[in-house]
Amino acid sequence: MSNLGQGLKTQHWDLNALPKFDKHFYKEDPAVSARSEAEVLAWRTTNQVTVQGNNIPRPVETFDEAGFPPYVINEVKAQGFAKPTAIQSQGWPMALSGRDVVGVAETGSGKTLSYCLPAIVHINAQPLLSPGDGPIVLILAPTRELAVQIQVEINKFGKSSRIRNTCVYGGVPKGQQIRDLQRGSEVCIATPGRLIDMLESGKTNLRRVTYLVLDEADRMLDMGFEPQIRKIIGQIRPDRQTCLWSATWPKEIRQLASDFQHDFIQVNIGSMELSANHRITQVVEVCTDFDKRDKMSKHLERIMEDKANKILIFTGTKRVADDITRFLRQDGWPALCKFCSTYRHVVDTNSSFSHSRRQAANRARLGSRPVQDWKISYHGCHRRCFSWYRYAYTPSLPLPFPPFRNIARLVLLRDLNMLLCVSCALCECITLN
């Protein structure tokens, strides 16, 4: 991985020789202008919004106030959203203004649309792609699961503009991705490693990129992608618009922002201090190995008094997951065991996988088995991959993960009302759409 990108040429940019492009699209709605500073401050206080920087636009409270063209507004309203989330209300005016933006908000707060809709407006204001041109918008994501999710949103809201996109990530054959890039795509959603591979082999270039997004930037740094990110950004013209979105704001992200953003403006939703989700009751029981299964059985009996409840059990290894599943079945529980390799295929909706794996995924979604046993690898499974609306309890036997700071990202389990022996990396594996 350390040698990745060594074949990329160092770019020397002459801003006077580069083609000009437009990135300033925001026009404040009269309703927004009419609000007093006290009203704006009250809205930000109510929604726990803090901003930093100079000349920050006021937040919008409705989709119509955001100033998007009708073709974008119609797509948004067709999805049935009632109003923008806090990060969207403040983030859209900031991103449409053409400024470099930093957005810090918890997972599930709507950050994806905060940069996707301005990206669509940005693309439609640029000249059409010519043969051999690379993308106009580049979105970097830490994992292929997140990249695919972003692509779904781009497809959903960009179809009226006939915006083409491609998703570039590792672990799959390159052929289709290369064909998509060579055909011409206005948007490229990519993981750093595979994108550098494409750049080194000459399959694409970043000369046309004028809108750069780093999504889940803290996660990318956690995974050791900082050298690759720096090499990729070095291939992009320096007068681009750069939007950096993150769930946390550690010093490494602050350094990245100061290195690659100019006079950036920042919006934070909630506190930037790391904390567990206050909406979830966390119960940690310390006991001997001999007592674990007996305690687990008692918890299962109590929890399943309500037949609507579902249970996930996280383990550290496949062998332990097998053992617990066997134990549960012998005790009369209809348990289903899944391993990390199965999980990774299940979440990739664009790939084909075996009938048995598809059956396992369907059983999990339909709730035919009230007890689900999962072996989870911290780096193998990632959040934003699977929907867990229906699971009420999640014990972890034994606690399989070290205390990563990503515990702050476990934030939107709407139906999860108790977490037994909470795993810090659980947040990397569970998400809500």
Task: Split the chain (433 residues) into runs of 10 and give each run's mean pLDDT.
Answer: 71 87 94 95 95 95 91 85 92 96 88 94 94 95 93 90 93 93 95 94 94 94 91 94 92 92 93 62 80 84 83 77 84 73 34 41 49 42 34 49 37 36 35 32
In this prediction, residue 426 carries a pLDDT of: 38
In this prediction, residue 177 carries a pLDDT of: 95
In this prediction, residue 62 carries a pLDDT of: 93
In this prediction, residue 378 carries a pLDDT of: 34
In this prediction, residue 109 carries a pLDDT of: 86
In this prediction, residue 75 carries a pLDDT of: 85
In this prediction, residue 146 carries a pLDDT of: 93
In this prediction, residue 404 carries a pLDDT of: 37
Helix/strand/coil (H, E, C) string of the chain?
A: CCCCCCCCCCCCCCCCCCCCCCCCCCCCCHHHHCCCHHHHHHHHHHCCEEEECCCCCCCCCCCHHHCCCHHHHHHHHHCCCCCCCHHHHHHHHHHHCCCCEEEECCCCCCHHHHHHHHHHHHHHCCCCCCCCCCCCEEEECCCHHHHHHHHHHHHHHHHHHCCCEEEECCCCCCHHHHHHHHHCCCEEEECHHHHHHHHHCCCCCCCCCCEEEECCHHHHHHCCCHHHHHHHHCCCCCCCEEEEEECCCCHHHHHHHHHHCCCCEEEEECCCCCCCCCCCEEECCCCCHHHHHHHHHHHHHHHCCCCCCCEEEEECCHHHHHHHHHHHHHCCCCEEEECHHHHHHHHCCCCCCCHHHHHHHHHHHHCCCCEEEEECCCCCCCCCCCECCCCCECCECCCCCCCCHHHHHCCCCCCCCEEECCCHHHHHCCECC
In this prediction, residue 9 carries a pLDDT of: 81
Q: pLDDT digits over 98-122, tens only? A: 999 999 988 788 899 999 999 999 9
